[in-house]
C-alpha cells in the first residue's frame, strides 16, 4: 500500500499507470551495477520513480575527472567511496526508498550474494568482462538485464529477458578491447534514461521492450537507429542455460 | 553490396558471397571492435554477404 506522502509524491506517475502500477514499482528490488555515469542517471531516476529497494554497488572512489557526468557525486565527494556518496544522494532525493550501497568489486565469487533478492539488473558497468558476469547471472536467476553502454556521443541499449531474447553474449560474442573512453554526461543521460524506461515498462507489463533489438544512439548526428538480434544457438552462455534447465 | 560504416557514411562494394570478416578486414576494421547487421539483423562475422545485401557496421561501445 502507498502512504499519503507517496500518493502525493508520485501523483504524476499515478496518472500514468495508476496506484496499482506505482505499488508494483514499490515492490520491485533493483540491482544497479556501478555508480558512475550510467549508474548516476539510472539510480537517480529509479529512486525518484519509487522503485522500492535499490542496491547499488561500486568499488571506486570519486575522482575529479568523474564529475562531468557522474551526477550522483559532488565536488566535496572527491576521494570518498562512490557507494557512500550515492547513498546520501539517493536517500536525499527520495527517503521513501530503501537504498543499500555497497563498496564491492563485482566478481564471479560474490555476484550470487550481491544479487540475492533482486528482481532485475541494471547494467551501468564500464567493461564487458563484468557485463558477461551480469549476463550469466541474469540467465541463471531468470531475471532481466537492462544493458546500456556509452562512448563519447554514442550509446547502445537493449533488454535481455532470459529464455525469450538473445542474451548479451549472443549480441556481443567478444569483449571489445579495453580502453579509456571519452564520455559526455548527456550521452549517459540518454542511455541511462532509456534503461530506466525499459525497467519501468517491464515492471508495468506495458509497452514494447527493446527485446531482441539493439538501440543505437548517435548524438553527433542526432540519430536513433536499431538493429534486430536473435539468440545464437551456439552461444556459450545461453546454451549452458538450456542444458541446466 | 551496400555498407553503412559506423560513422554513418555509406560505401558500395562489388563483392559476391564474401565472408563478412574478410569484408571488415578489407575495410581496415578490426572485427573485435564491431558487430555487423546484415539486412538489419546482427549476424556472426563467419556469415557471407552478397551483392544484394546491406551491411551495417556498429562500433561496440563499452563505457558506463
Domains and their CATH numbers in chain B: 2-59 (3.10.20.30)
**Contact yes or no for B41 and A229 at CB 8 A:** yes
Residue A245 pLDDT > 80: no
Residue A244 pLDDT > 70: no
Which residue in B has a C-alpha nearest to residue A183's C-alpha? B63
Residue A239 pLDDT > 90: no
**What pLDDT is stored for residue A243 in this prediction?**
45
- Scored b (16 or more CB within 10 A) or e, A140-170 reads bbebbbbbbbbbebbbbbbbbbbeebbbbbb
Q: How far apart are CA A189 and CA A186, in angstroms?
A: 5
Chain B positions in Cβ-Cβ contact with residue A150 (cut-off 8 Å): 61, 63-64
**What pLDDT is stored for residue A197 in this prediction?**
98
Each residue's pLDDT tens digit, A53-63: 999 999 999 99
% chain A with pLDDT above 70: 98
**Contact yes or no for A125 and B64 at CB 8 A:** yes
- With cut-offs at 50, 70 and 90, classify the pLDDT of residue A158: very high
Residue A23 pLDDT > 70: yes
Residue A114 pLDDT > 80: yes
What is the mean pLDDT of the segment spanning A95-114? Answer: 98
Residue A71 pLDDT > 90: yes
| Bridge partners (DSSP) listed for residue A149 | A156
| A216 inside 8 A of chain B by CB | yes
Each residue's pLDDT tens digit, A181-229: 999 999 999 999 999 999 999 999 999 999 999 999 999 999 999 999 9
| A156 inside 8 A of chain B by CB | yes
Q: Which residue has the cell 543499500?
A: A100
**What pLDDT is stored for residue A34 in this prediction?**
98
Name which of A90, A26, A100, A93 is nearest A56 in CA terms: A100
Residue A116 pLDDT > 90: yes
Each residue's pLDDT tens digit, B27-58: 999 999 999 999 999 999 999 999 999 999 99
**A207 CB-near residues (< 8 Å, 6+ apart):** A201
Q: How far apart are CA B59 and CA B56, in angstroms?
A: 10
Q: How far apart are CA A165 and CA A224, in angstroms?
A: 21
- pLDDT, chain B, mean: 95
| A186 inside 8 A of chain B by CB | no
**All three cell numbers of A14:** 499515478
| A233 inside 8 A of chain B by CB | no
Considering only residues 20 to 59 of chain B, which have any Cβ-Cβ distance to chain A shorter than 8 Å?
32-33, 35, 37, 40-42, 44, 56, 58-59
pTM here is 0.97
Domains and their CATH numbers in chain A: 4-243 (3.40.50.720)
Q: Please check whether residue A7 is in contact with residue A26, taking contact to mean a CB–CB distance below 8 angstroms.
A: no
- With cut-offs at 50, 70 and 90, classify the pLDDT of residue A12: very high
Task: Give the 3-state secondary structure of residue A205.
Answer: coil
Residue A99 pLDDT > 60: yes
**What pLDDT is stored for residue B16 in this prediction?**
86
**What pLDDT is stored for residue A242 in this prediction?**
60
Amino acid at each position: 500500500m502507498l502512504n499519503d506522502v507517496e500518493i502525493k509524491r508520485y501523483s504524476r506517475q499515478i496518472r500514468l499507470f495508476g496506484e496499482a502500477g506505482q505499488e508494483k514499482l514499490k515492490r520491485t528490488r533493483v540491482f544497479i551495477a556501478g555508480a558512475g555515469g550510467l549508474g548516476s542517471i539510472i539510480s537517480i531516476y529509479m529512486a525518484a520513480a519509487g522503485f522500492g529497494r535499490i542496491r547499488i554497488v561500486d568499488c571506486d572512489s570519486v575522482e575529479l575527472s568523474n564529475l562531468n557526468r557522474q551526477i550522483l557525486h559532488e565536488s566535496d565527494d572527491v576521494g570518498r567511496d562512490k557507494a557512500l556518496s550515492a547513498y546520501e544522494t539517493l536517500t536525499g532525493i527520495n527517503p521513501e526508498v530503501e537504498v543499500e550501497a555497497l563498496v564491492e568489486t563485482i566478481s564471479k565469487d560474490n555476484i550470487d550474494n550481491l544479487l540475492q533478492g533482486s528482481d532485475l539488473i541494471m547494467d551501468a558497468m564500464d567493461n564487458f568482462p563484468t557485463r558477461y558476469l551480469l549476463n550469466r547471472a541474469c540467465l541463471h536467476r531468470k531475471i532481466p538485464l537492462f544493458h546500456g553502454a556509452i562512448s563519447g556521443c554514442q550509446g547502445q541499449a537493449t533488454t535481455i529477458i532470459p529464455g525469450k531474447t538473445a542474451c548479451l553474449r549472443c549480441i556481443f560474442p567478444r569483449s571489445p578491447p579495453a580502453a579509456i573512453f571519452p564520455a559526455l554526461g548527456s550521452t549517459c543521460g540518454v542511455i541511462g534514461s532509456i534503461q530506466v524506461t525499459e525497467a519501468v515498462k517491464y515492471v508495468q507489463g506495458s509497452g514494447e521492450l527493446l527485446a531482441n533489438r539493439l538501440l543505437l544512439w548517435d548524438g553527433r548526428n542526432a540519430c536513433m537507429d536499431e538493429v534486430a538480434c536473435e539468440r545464437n544457438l551456439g552461444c556459450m552462455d545461453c546454451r549452458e542455460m538450456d542444458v541446466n534447465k | 553490396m551496400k555498407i553503412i560504416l559506423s560513422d554513418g557514411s555509406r560505401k558500395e562494394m562489388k563483392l559476391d558471397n564474401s565472408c563478412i570478416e574478410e569484408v571488415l578486414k578489407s575495410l581496415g576494421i578490426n572485427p573485435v571492435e564491431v558487430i555487423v547487421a546484415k539486412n538489419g539483423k546482427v549476424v556472426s562475422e563467419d556469415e557471407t554477404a552478397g551483392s544484394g545485401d546491406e551491411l551495417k557496421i556498429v562500433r561496440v561501445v563499452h563505457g558506463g
